[in-house]
């Protein structure tokens, strides 16, 4: 038994900080039961996703509790959004080393509360445990979508346009900024990029609107090129995108102006939590309207192409002159080597 | 990026070991998508539960992968069973230190495969991540039950009998055996107790049969006395149980014969994963029939009583003479001190 000096017991912590987050969701039973009950609306199915984040791997070890909580939740909501699901509830497993103080847990719960208001979700279950390792958080998010209508990764057609929401590369540049690797960047740009790394903005309201328009979709978490490759592989197609069309924030443009080599980080760095999707060219008007209604940039960056030849990479990234960029890495992967 | 020498990449590991576990569940999309889709049968709702286990806290750090996997899954299935839910699917987040070898992961997946056959569940999602800490596994289990019919913790009535399935205390004694704290015990008994600690036997087939019979239920994970206290608290009642009626395995009896003080470990030690439930005395015949049909012992151990007086503990454990046992601890808790 790991007793943590200074912390109240597990049940007191749940009652104090987490049970209030279950209020308003009857099937959560106030977190006083062993499990929660949830049913999709008629004609809908539940869409479920889990993603865990680890201190020192996915977020800095000294990160405040509220930001850690919101990042853990949001990376999961981002996947639901990319599938067109409306988020409804989530569960959290929280593994804490004995160095964590109650104030950190209070901040963690406050971060969840803030995002519950923002995204209309409720905490319906979870687990707390001690760990000799770093703070580790596993979130399971539950959303709903019309039955059989979620936007799959498979489903793209040759000739479909490739779109991406928002801007790409900010989070990856933000991580490099935190690591001190972008010393020449102005302070305002640096702050914007770091903020994008620390706090993803999942496209929760836009995502469900893409049902019936997008032929395939996923969220950009491993990196634009790697995630487009995932989409190509399951759709059995290739893709050609044009680097100059990839939407960049002014801060990312400033960083690339200082060091043009950062373009590769932008294209492959990951943690964007934007939606990458394919749709017919004819959907462009409808997408422009959605972009205006939801104040989310939606940018065409290329096209899907017939299946790649043997030994041909499925994703080609072209520069302004139409020449293929040679990228040394395609994106984040845990374990082993990132594929070339 | 934590590269783990010798391990294939994350996606290769998923394709090799985990995607096969999703076969047969269409909404899992072969683990090739960002999320899974699941809908309850008509008239049913989904029952969801998450519990995480941490190396060095919930299982020994050198435990084989298959046992770790099965324990992680089973502790969750146990909660579903105690609610009367039929398990259908689960997701797994697997956090691995870089000392883990591929053979361990292969064993982990093989353990899941074995339990999928045993319990009729499918893997429908998950996440793999590196960690500087110990092996950490978060499981989210999804089951289904007739809408509004799950067996809650709240719902017991004064006068209801208190029942427990199987035998109590084996796992807690098994842990002490592993720790070398039961040196006088015979080898066969020691092996049985250790096995009960390492591999819970959730009452998955019996649990759903208790809907309509049990007035309240939960699984015994924190310890018999602590879990009965949880049930008392949410039902706003007290309970009186008789220690001599608590069902013990021959191995537990052998251990207590060597050291009678171990009775307290049995009553408070936890990790039993049996179902503790309340029901009217008149349900005894029906329960005896279920016990025979499912080959699961179901033993009455006491009764629910009116709400406790102020300053009175909600659970009284009586000895053979009807005297209250003075227990120094009520059961496992993470953080802080176990309540007296």
- pLDDT by residue for chain B (340 residues), tens only, comes to 344 556 788 889 999 999 999 999 999 999 999 999 999 999 999 999 999 999 999 998 899 999 999 999 999 999 999 999 999 999 999 999 999 999 999 999 999 999 999 999 999 999 999 999 999 999 999 999 999 999 999 999 999 999 999 999 999 999 999 999 999 999 999 999 999 999 999 999 999 999 999 999 999 999 999 999 999 999 999 999 999 999 999 999 999 999 999 999 999 999 999 999 999 999 999 999 999 999 999 999 999 999 988 888 899 999 999 999 888 776 555 554 333 3
* B10: chain A residues, CB-CB within 8 Å: 333-336
A123: contact with B, CB 8 A cutoff? no
Which of A2, A28, A31, A37 has the most B C-beta neighbours within 10 Å, making it the best mutation to test the interface with B? A37
B181: contact with A, CB 8 A cutoff? no
Long-range Cβ pairs for the range B181-185 (8 Å, 24+): B182/B255, B182/B258, B182/B259, B182/B262, B184/B258, B184/B259, B185/B254, B185/B255, B185/B258
Task: Give the span between the Cα atoms of A222 and A228, in whole angstroms.
Answer: 10
Helical segments of chain A, H only: 10-13, 65-82, 102-119, 170-178, 187-198, 224-235, 250-258, 262-268, 284-294
* A129: chain B residues, CB-CB within 8 Å: 52-54, 57-58, 334
Q: Per the CB < 8 Å rule, is B1 touching A332?
A: yes
Residue of B nearest to A135 (CA): B133
The reported pLDDT for the residue numbered A332 is 55
Which residues, in sequence order, are bridge partners of residue A143? A47, A87
* B276: chain A residues, CB-CB within 8 Å: none
Task: Give the span between the Cα atoms of B271 and B313, in whole angstroms.
Answer: 23
Tokens found for residue B227:
């879990």
Dihedral, CA of residue B322, residue B328, residue B330 and residue B335, to nearest 10: 170
Q: Per the CB < 8 Å rule, is B46 touching A37?
A: yes
A149: contact with B, CB 8 A cutoff? no
The reported pLDDT for the residue numbered A330 is 63
**CA-based nearest residue to A131, from B169, B97, B112:** B97
User: Could you tell me which residues come within 8 angstroms of residue A133 by beta carbon, excluding any fewer than 6 positions away?
Assistant: A54, A95, A97, B54, B131, B132, B133, B134, B136
Q: Per the CB < 8 Å rule, is B54 touching A95?
A: yes
Residue A59 CB burial class (10 angstroms; 0-12, 13-18, ≥19): buried
Flag residues of chain A having pLDDT under 50.
1-3, 336-340
The reported pLDDT for the residue numbered B4 is 53
SS3 B80: helix
SS3 B123: strand
Residue A91 burial (CB count, 10 A) = 25
Q: Per the CB < 8 Å rule, is A2 touching B335?
A: yes
Residue of A nearest to B221 (CA): A34
Q: Would you say A38 and B46 are in contact if contact means Cβ atoms under 8 Å apart?
A: yes
Tokens found for residue B263:
């009775």
* A50: chain B residues, CB-CB within 8 Å: 91-93, 125-127, 138, 140
Enter the pTM of the model. Answer: 0.94
Tokens found for residue B181:
């704290």
* B38: chain A residues, CB-CB within 8 Å: 45-46, 48
B61: contact with A, CB 8 A cutoff? no
Q: Per the CB < 8 Å rule, is B335 touching A130?
A: yes
* B4: chain A residues, CB-CB within 8 Å: 334-336
Q: Per the CB < 8 Å rule, is B33 touching A152?
A: yes
Tokens found for residue A148:
């059989």
Tokens found for residue B3:
């590269």
Phi, psi angles (nearest 5°) of residue A231 = -65, -45
ipTM of the complex: 0.93
A28: contact with B, CB 8 A cutoff? no
A211: contact with B, CB 8 A cutoff? no
Please tell me the distance in Å from B322's CA to the nearest CA on chain A.
Answer: 31
SS3 B233: helix
Q: Per the CB < 8 Å rule, is A45 touching B29?
A: no
Dihedral, CA of residue B75, residue B78, residue B83 and residue B89, to nearest 10: 80
Task: Give the span between the Cα atoms of A250 and A262, in whole angstroms.
Answer: 14
């Amino acid at each position: 038994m790991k007793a943590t000096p200074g912390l109240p017991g597990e049940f007191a912590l749940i009652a104090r900080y987490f049970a209030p987050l279950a209020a308003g969701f009857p099937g959560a039973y106030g977190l006083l039961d062993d499990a929660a009950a949830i049913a999709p609306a008629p004609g809908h199915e539940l869409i479920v996703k889990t993603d865990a984040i680890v201190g020192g791997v996915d977020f800095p070890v000294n990160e405040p509790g509220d930001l850690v909580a919101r990042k853990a939740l949001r990376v999961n909501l981002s996947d639901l959004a990319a599938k067109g699901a409306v988020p409804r509830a989530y569960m959290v497993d929280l593994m804490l080393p004995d160095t964590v103080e109650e104030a950190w847990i209070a901040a963690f719960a406050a971060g969840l509360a803030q995002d519950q208001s923002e995204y209309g979700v409720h905490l319906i279950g979870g687990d707390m445990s001690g760990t000799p390792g770093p703070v580790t958080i596993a979130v399971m998010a539950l959303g709903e979508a019309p039955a059989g209508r979620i936007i799959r990764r498979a489903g793209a057609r040759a000739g479909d346009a490739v779109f991406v929401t928002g801007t790409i590369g900010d989070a990856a540049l933000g991580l490099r900024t935190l690591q001190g690797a972008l010393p020449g960047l102005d302070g305002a740009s640096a702050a914007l990029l770091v903020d994008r790394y620390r706090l993803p903005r999942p496209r929760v309201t836009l995502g469900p609107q893409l049902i019936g328009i997008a032929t395939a979709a996923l969220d950009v978490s491993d990196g634009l090129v790697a995630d487009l490759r995932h989409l190509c592989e399951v759709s059995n197609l290739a893709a050609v995108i044009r680097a100059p069309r990839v939407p960049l924030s002014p801060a990312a443009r400033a960083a690339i102006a200082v060091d043009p080599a950062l373009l590769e980080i932008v294209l492959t760095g990951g943690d964007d939590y934007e939606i990458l999707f394919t749709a017919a060219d004819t959907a462009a008007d409808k997408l422009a309207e959605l972009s205006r209604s939801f104040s989310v940039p939606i940018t065409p960056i290329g096209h899907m192409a017939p299946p790649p030849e043997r030994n041909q990479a499925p994703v080609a990234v072209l520069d302004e002159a139409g020449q293929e960029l040679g990228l040394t890495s395609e994106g984040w992967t845990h374990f082993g080597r990132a594929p070339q």
